[in-house]
Structure 1
Amino acid sequence: MDSTNVLTKPERPTLPSVESEEWTEVIQPRTNLLDLGLKDVWRYRDLVMLFVRRDFVSTYKQTVLGPIWFFIQPLLTTITYVIIFGNVAKLSTDGLPMMVFYLSGITIWNYFAQTLTNTSTVFRDNAGMFGKVYFPRLTMPLSIVISNLVRFAIQFGLFVIVWLYYLLKGGSGIHPNWFIALTPVLIIIMGLMSLGLGMIFSAMTTKYRDLAMLLAFGVQLLMYATPVIYPLSSITGKYRLLILANPMTSIVESFRYAFLGSGTFAWSYLVYSLAFTIVILLTGIIIFNRVQKSFTDTV
């Protein structure tokens, strides 16, 4: 009896439908202007800390003195200010020791200036990473704020050592008060302000790279419009109003008033700086989120 071979067409494997699959990550464009993406940043908080560690280690990895530069830089700057502005220009320090007066302003200003300039080039400096893998882009500028906060903590420790020396020495005119408790608030306002401004400039530097150099020069000029090397009490007339319009003025003056007992403190000035920070931060996040969609085409 002949056997008949029956050829059957192999069955094609059935693919699961898109609806039946469970995705671990869904990347969708944001169409809502007020969708800031802060929830995604919180989910990737471990990545933020990895970026912080990377920034801290890479900056001084191949230097001889390493983190000691955190102490050397403000110390040398303070000595320079003492010689030039204190002894040569004879600028007022409200009767306070020049060393602790200038160091207090430098400690505050360095954190703001460094965070602002570093954040302003975040797209340009990390273009390769942004183009290869997805992660919330806000984690990058936020990590800069935190990593510079570590540097600020070290320099703040140097300021405290000098401050305690003059405080225990006596006769220095230093009279600290309970406003020292506001120091964390001042640091938060300053960090968020530099973050917001930095994100706005980062959006512009994707097309106009010259702005990065212009910003670095502008930050140096802005320091002279901030009472870092002089007290606000020495400024009168219309120039005083211009200095008060600078939101960093109340931060520096409040810090000095808290630790040194000399300075111009008013709640209205501090509220103004806080309101400016909130507005500039929200504006910066919105602009940053909009630019991140197409920045690879221009960087």
Structure 2
Amino acid sequence: MAEKISDNGGLEEQPWLYEISPKGKALSFNFDEIWRYRDLLLLFVKRDIVTYYKQTILGPLWFLIQPLITSVVQFVIFNQIAQIESDGINYFLFALAGNTLWFYFSDCFKSTSDTFKTNQNIFGKVYFPRVIVPMSVTLSNLLKFGIQFLFFLCMIGYFIYLGKAPFPNWEVIFTPVLLFMMALISLGFGMIISSMTTKYRDLSFLVGFGVQLYMYLTPVVYPTSLVVKKLKPYGYENLAYLNPLTSIFEFFKYAFLGSGEFTTFGLVYSFVFSILIFLLGLVVFNKTEKNFIDTV
């Protein structure tokens, strides 16, 4: 209870307007509180966008250069030299589709996994819902994804004009669902890693390396059908879908390029996995934020 001086000079007890306490439920996602801090959320989103290309010559054009150069290099190495097939799709478009999705996931994951370390000065001085920071990362990266996605659509239109690509399928309407699933997976993994790095700093050095390895476990530069073909003689073809990102990438390529190997079960598995890993990350994140300032 708060106290104030009454008209007669005495002290009167008044209820607190706000109570800041580290205690709370492990599985807590207070939408009302996040909505009250929506202006701060937008401020963090703006900060992330501005600082990304501040004091650069090309600015947002780097968002286009990254997938373009990466896809060209992958085309030369994996298609022209290694002779990796792409299910009859032009390999440049195949690689560009994978990179468009992958960059969104990897950027969200790497930024989220460094939440406590990067924002320790802010967290130690003022209160606000900590989960706003990783949320702002996924939202700010949507701008980058949007630019790269428009470039991808332009490339599809160009190859359709040349007669080297089919028109996208109606399943493209599920693209927001795919992004939502990837956002949850990157948030879940990122919050877990961020919470662990408050005690084990070595993990922060492994994130970049681990993300690179994870890319080669995901059908970015090769089709899942190639993995299934290799595993089928041994009866382990279902292992190709163990990675929750596999069905997401394959469905995306099927929707836009007309070729991809996925199953309904695989998509359901990816959706359930995204929900569960997000909830697990939220539990670990909420538990760590209570005392991370003593260990970070």
For the superposition of Structure 1 and Structure 2, which TM-score range results when normalised by the shorter chain? over 0.9
Task: Please tell me whether the aligned partners of residues 226 and 249 of structure 1 are also in contact (alpha carbons under 8 angstroms).
Answer: yes
How big is the shift at 1:266? 1.9
1:211 to 203, 207, 218: 203
Structure 2 counterpart of 1:185, one-letter code: V
Give % identity. Answer: 48
Q: Which residue pairs with 1:177 in the alignment?
A: 169
Q: Retained in 2: the 8 A contact 1:79–1:99?
A: yes
- Note the C-alpha offset of 1:22: 5.3
Matching residue of 1:94: 87
Q: 2:148 aligns to what?
A: 155
Question: Paired residue for 1:3?
Answer: none
In structure 1, stretches of 5+ residues that fail to align are: 1-10
CA deviations 1:246-299 (Å, max 9, x no partner) are 000011000000001100132111100000011000111111011001111111
Give runs of aligned pairs for residues 32-181 of structure 1, distance below 5 A.
32-170=25-163, 172-181=164-173
TM superposition shift of 1:62: 1.1
The verdict on how the C-alpha distance between 1:260 and 1:232 changes in structure 2, with shifts beyond 3 A counting, is same
Pairwise mapping of residues 260-299 of structure 1 onto structure 2 (< 5 A)? Answer: 260-299=257-296
Q: 3-state SS of the aligned residue for 1:42?
A: helix
Structure 2 residue 235 is the aligned partner of structure 1 residue 243: no
Measure, in 1, the Cα distance between the counterparts of 2:213 and 2:166.
29
Q: Which of 12, 19, 27 pairs up with 1:16?
A: 12
Q: Normalising by structure 1, what TM-score?
A: 0.91
The DSSP-based 3-state class of the residue aligned with 2:12 is coil
Return the match for 1:231 from 205, 219, 223.
Answer: 223
**1: CA distance, partners of 2:96 / 2:15:** 59
> 1:36: how far off?
3.1
Aligned partners of 2:104 and 2:141 also within 8 Å: yes
Amino acid at match of 2:9: P
Residue-by-residue CA offset, 1:73-103 (whole Å, 9 max, x unaligned): 1111011001101101110011111111100
1:187 corresponds in structure 2 to 179
- RMSD of aligned residue pairs (Cα, Å): 1.6
Q: How much does 1:35 deviate?
A: 3.0
TM (norm. structure 2) is 0.92
**Alignment length, in residue pairs?**
285
**Does 2:23 correspond to 1:30?**
yes
Name the SS of the counterpart of 1:79 in structure 2: helix
CA distance in 2, matches of 1:214, 1:32: 30
- CA contact under 8 A between 2:79 and 2:91: conserved in structure 1? yes
Query: Greater shift after overlay, 228-237 or 107-116?
Result: 228-237
Contiguous gaps of at least 5 residues in structure 2: 1-6
Structure 2 residue matching 1:202: 3-state secondary structure: helix
Which amino acid in the other structure matches residue 176 of structure 2? P
Distance apart, 1:21 and its partner CA = 4.1
2:3 corresponds in structure 1 to none
Distance in 1 of aligned mates of 2:285 and 2:95 = 35
- When structure 1 is superposed on structure 2, of 254-263 and 238-247 the one drifting more is 238-247
Residue 226 of structure 1 contacts residue 243 of structure 1 at CA under 8 Å; is this kept in 2?
no
- Per the TM alignment, residue 121 of structure 1 is displaced from its structure 2 partner at its CA by 0.5
Provide the rounded CA distance (Å) in 2 between the counterparts of 1:38 and 1:287.
Answer: 18
The one-letter code of the counterpart of 2:274 is: T
Asked if the contact 1:199/1:284 (under 8 Å) is kept, the reply is yes
- C-alpha separation in 1, matches of 2:167 and 2:262: 14
CA distance in 1, matches of 2:106, 2:248: 13
2:10 aligned partner, one-letter code: T
Is the Cα contact below 8 Å between 1:176 and 1:260 reproduced in 2? yes
Amino acid at match of 1:278: I
- Return the alpha-carbon distance in structure 1 between the equivalents of residues 268 and 252 of structure 2: 15
The whole-number CA distance in structure 2 between the counterparts of 1:35 and 1:81 is 42
**Corresponding letter in the other structure for 1:199:** M
State the alpha-carbon separation in 2 of the partners of residues 76 and 98 from structure 1.
14
